[in-house]
Amino acid sequence: MFVNILDPIGSGFVASLARPGGNLTGFATVEPSIGGKWLELLLAIAPATKQVAILSSSNSFSMAPGGPLTQTFDAAGSVFPALKLVRAPVQDIAELDGVIAAQARTPGNGLIVAPEPFTSNHYQAITALAARHRLPAMYPYRFFAASGGLLSYGIDLVSQYRQAGTYVDRILRGARLPVQLPTKFELVINLKTAKALGLEVPPTLLARGDEVIE
């Protein structure tokens, strides 16, 4: 069984979410509307944003044509037609500073960090660079916001691992179970970072937050 997998089908783990086939099933990390949510929340805290770069590994299959993140951002783009979405691929950590700095040069630019191993492994460098270059950024997991990121919206990893325990029990009893898309998300807002960026967090956004870091 797997947990915290971005694209179970693209990774070759299962044939489909509803009917995995073979001997594997588990929990995915994104669902189709997540891209729209990231854009909505970023615009709520940084309404002057006109262009959003999506930071990911340059060899990310999730951002390849037909990949799960490509699909969710394509769908989100139709909801926010005035917002320009661009890719910001990074080959290795040495390129991070240049890529983030390039996005920060134009006023009205923002950043969304894709949920994948490369960005998670370098989350401290990414949040530090976004802060240094004063670039409003949306992150996929709580630990980014706890490290100084502006805000994060994504799955509750602890809750997903707990759910996995119940899945294991049911599988051992003979159940054949579909891959589960995430249903529980957490919004974390870092007020200290917002203040440093000169951003005022709307009360409506604060009220939606599961955690507010001061």
| Domain architecture of the chain: domains with CATH | 31-154+185-213 (3.40.50.2300)
Q: Hey, is 55 helix, strand or coil?
A: strand
Q: Please tell me the pTM assigned to this model.
A: 0.90
pLDDT recorded at residue 79: 87
- Say if residue 41's pLDDT is above 90: yes
Alpha-carbon gap, residue 189 to 107, rounded angstroms: 22
Predicted confidence (pLDDT) per residue in 42-94, tens digit:
999 999 999 999 999 988 877 777 778 888 888 888 889 889 999 999 999 99
Predicted confidence (pLDDT) per residue in 105-158, tens digit:
999 999 999 999 899 999 999 999 999 999 999 999 999 999 999 999 998 877
Alpha-carbon gap, residue 207 to 57, rounded angstroms: 33
Q: Parallel, antiparallel, or unpaired: how do β-strands 2-5 and 51-57 relate?
A: unpaired
pLDDT recorded at residue 68: 80
In whole angstroms, how far apart are CA 121 and each of 70, 124, 145?
21, 8, 14
